A and B are shown apart, each in its own frame.
Chain A
Amino acid sequence: MSRWLGLLLLLLGACAPTEEPLAEPDPGLAELAIVEVAPTTLLPASRLVIRGRSLPGPSDGSIRLWLMGTSKLPGTVPRNLDVRLRAEYVSSEEAYVLVDTEVLQLLGGNSVEFEGHAQVVIDSVIDRREHVTEPLQVKLKLVPSLSPRLDLLELAGPQRTTGKVHPNDWLIVRGDGFLFGGGEGETVALLSGCFLPEGTAEPCSLNGRSVREVEIPVAPLSRFDRAGAILPYAPTIHGVLPGKFVGTIRLRNQPPGTTARTVSGTRTVAVEQVRPELTGISPSAASLGQYVEMQGAGFIGGQAGQATLVRLQGQFSLQGSPVMIPVDTEIVVKWLPRYPSGPVGRYVLDETDALGQALESRGGLREAAGVFVGNGTTTLRFGRESVSSKPTPLRIALLRPKQVVVVRFLSSYKDSLRLFGLRAVDNAVRARVLEVARRDYAGINIEFREGGEDMPWPQDFAYYAQVDIGGPDPNGLGYLGYDNTPGRDMQNRRLYDRIGGVNAVTQSDGSPGYGGVFAEQLLGFSSHPGSVSPIKSAPGEAELFDQIFDPLRPDTGGTPATLREATLLPALSSGSLCPASKDDRSHQVACAIFVLGSLIGTTMTHELGHSLGLANPDSPNGSYHNNGNLRGRIMNPGSLRSFSERAELSSSGAAIFCDSDFAYLRRILPGSQLPPSVMRPPCLDTPTM
């Protein structure tokens, strides 16, 4: 019997389509995992958040949440549930399922409890396979609505046991049934009572200020916490003046699209509002475009009629000069509702504001490095009310400009890595790119930071430059890289250049509009570049390129590198061992990482040099590249930059900035560290006209 059944299955198999995956299993999903599914209590229109690792973007695959277990309506027998819910991509670490009508139906209604396993299922566009994570044990509860319950009100942070609050200090409410906002609606606090300003005689009912149902939105204490929430003790309750408030608080849930609202029980509130405090600033040294945070308490703003000012009174001593400049100015500070380390007041060093203008005659915030020593006083303005802190001694160092550069690795770059057989070792390639960048700009006040489409932007600087590392050249010109920032930014006036995306201003004079480093075009150095434009190179260079990459390139019969292979050897710091011998797989992988990282890195440092004003920085009409035909200079034209030089496989070593280019960089962005002691080739700059 089993023999015949086997024959039948064989025949059936003969007719089944043979699966032909596109490639090896997508290495981008090698670390796919599910970490958490939350919140556990869901309402209609809630977002069920899936936290995981290596979740693919929409162009690389679709994400579904697979729930398998039992679901149970109240008072009924559990039934088996096996559903796959479509999830929306947020980042490589997060996706969500919107609990809409369809999802509620699939789960069995809006009053069920689910218990079982959750897995993430990826339908990969890359390898046409289904990838499933390990299961995660979960319990979910669906409810049609939530009513707020208020158990306790307490002050947060240092004020916890004092009974005293500053304007906008955090209050904590504990209870249950709080809403998270968005589709499920929000929870608000309602405060009522009487405020008696400091120095005003009792009774409050006669001499004080009545407070009636002032509405303050609350936010969850932590992201998925329905039992704890915070709210600011906002100026809208009774203003910013010191005094005592006695009254009540209750919570109200407000689902969207309905007038049905549920309200909690009432708790009493008795607090004393005190003056703002300024205790210091952080960091104590900063430069143009950098954020400075005020330490202390009592910061307001963000709404009409509210402002926080900090008055600076003292002396500013210019660096390297005996001159002392008297200072008496006020700066505007932004209120940031940060929890638990806040709220804070944030200021950004700005050339156009009162402080920036006060230093204008000394070269402004770009030239006037020095130290302010004096006092700082916070003043809150709320309509006609004004209240100030006690003066606090402050010492603030003003630094010369710093250029922060975010190197953004785009998904098109990751796609291009597949062509080199290096998709799985993306992180190792990035590390080499950044190593090259930091080395080339050593001694210059530039900080390189890794970025990506999913990664947050800097929070400590408002001004930063951006370089996109992408795949093919969107201009269709076969460039390896292109600085699409407009014009020549002499003296680096723009600390916020973006080398990437499209720039309409650059495009408007007929120049190519799309910028960045185009990693895929580097395949043009190969003798078999496939669909990439070939790059002319000296004899032997294409063969050298192919010796490095052919063992890994899928289109040449090579085997792409695996994550594990990248860990077998420490990263190479030079190309002296490259290319590796045919039987040394570990070194083949290490060399390919080193070479591609060097190629991208040296292209990036060249393009960044353009955006900083190079080459010929003192000559508005000079060439954008170094003059003459000396090799080994970063700002040389492409025709003078061979593959082996870019890849750092040549015996002459890595290219460097030539003498006057480097001197210019030191002048506009002087680093605190001494520059490396190297012999720099001459730039042969165009004479200034």
Chain B
Amino acid sequence: MRVRAWFLAGLLLATGCGPQVGSLKLSALAPHSVTVAQEVVIPLLADGTGLQPLTWQWRSLTNPELTTRLHRPTLSAYSGGRALWRFTPLASDVGPQSVEFSAESGPLSGSIALGFVIEPGGDPPLFREPVGEGTTLDLRSMPCAAIAVVVESSSLPQVSLSLVSPPPNAELVQTDDLGGKLVFCPSMSQAASETIYPLLIQAEAGPHTVRKSYVIVLRRPT
């Protein structure tokens, strides 16, 4: 029994704790999406490390300044061939980025490149006015409803405002980059046939399209 134990221990030391030949195989999980001001964490793994210490390095293939800036990404190495790369992108980083990670363990080495796109992170436009769900129009006192429309846009400085499938005599006139006026002047025949006019106001900013329901209800004589 004593001989077997020593034999097993000797075999273990002789073979080391991992492969001694070949290159390091690196793997990394590319992030789904990267947005300015939101930290991205990329876990890295080096397979095939030996007894020699493992050292990690990284460089940006698209933006060399990334490695020298004050608030630069960090790469922390851990045991088991693991490492974490952490990066909080700035506004100036928006666009495609490519980062190469490399690792060395004695004579072994390997590298891997990851590409991702940093998005500015703007949200879809938000309707700020009208804030309510609708209004009434008393045709005895005025022929038209005129409603100010204001949107807020974080992703683009201009939005395109429109009405989706408007009824006759309803239109949205854009007055500036982020605002307009919804005007509805129902005809006599319209007023006689229907009193509830659901409208759909649409704001488009690049890839974002948002809509707001708004109803104009004609008052009935009492």
Contact = CB atoms under 8 A, between A and B. Distances in A.
A16 B187 CA distance: 84
B153 A476 contact: no
A412 B196 contact: no
Interface in B154-205: 154-157, 177-178, 195-196, 198
A419 B137 CA distance: 58
15 contacts: A330-B136, A332-B133, A352-B130, A353-B130, A354-B136, A354-B137, A357-B135, A412-B39, A463-B131, A474-B37, A476-B91, A504-B153, A507-B157, A514-B37, A531-B70
A496 B128 contact: yes
Nearest to A353: B135
Contacts of A471: 37, 39, 88
Contacts of B100: none
B132 A352 contact: yes
Interface in A165-212: none
A128 B77 CA distance: 11
B36 A474 contact: yes
Nearest to A485: B152
Interface string B122-160: 110000111111111110000000011000111111000
A636 interface: no
A357 B142 CA distance: 12
Contacts of B147: 352-353
Interface of A: 1, 4-5, 7-8, 11-12, 15-22, 59, 125, 128, 289, 301, 304-307, 309, 329-334, 347-354, 357, 381, 386, 412, 415, 462-463, 470-472, 474-476, 494, 496, 498, 501-505, 507-508, 512-514, 531-533
A502 B91 CA distance: 9
Nearest to A503: B154
A4 B5 contact: yes
Interface in B60-75: 69-72, 74
A474 B91 contact: yes
A504 B122 contact: yes
Interface stretch (B20-28, B104-112, B212-220): B212-220
Contacts of A125: 41, 43, 84
A307 B131 contact: no
Nearest to A304: B198
B160 to A, nearest CB: 14
Contacts of B72: 531
B78 to A, nearest CB: 5
A529 to B, nearest CB: 9
Nearest to A303: B198
Contact of B129 (A20, A352, A470, A507): A352
Contact of B220 (A357, A386, A463): A386
A7 B128 contact: no
Residue picked from A128, A304, A462, most chain B C-beta under 10 Å: A128
Contacts of A470: 37
B217 A381 contact: yes
A19 B80 CA distance: 8
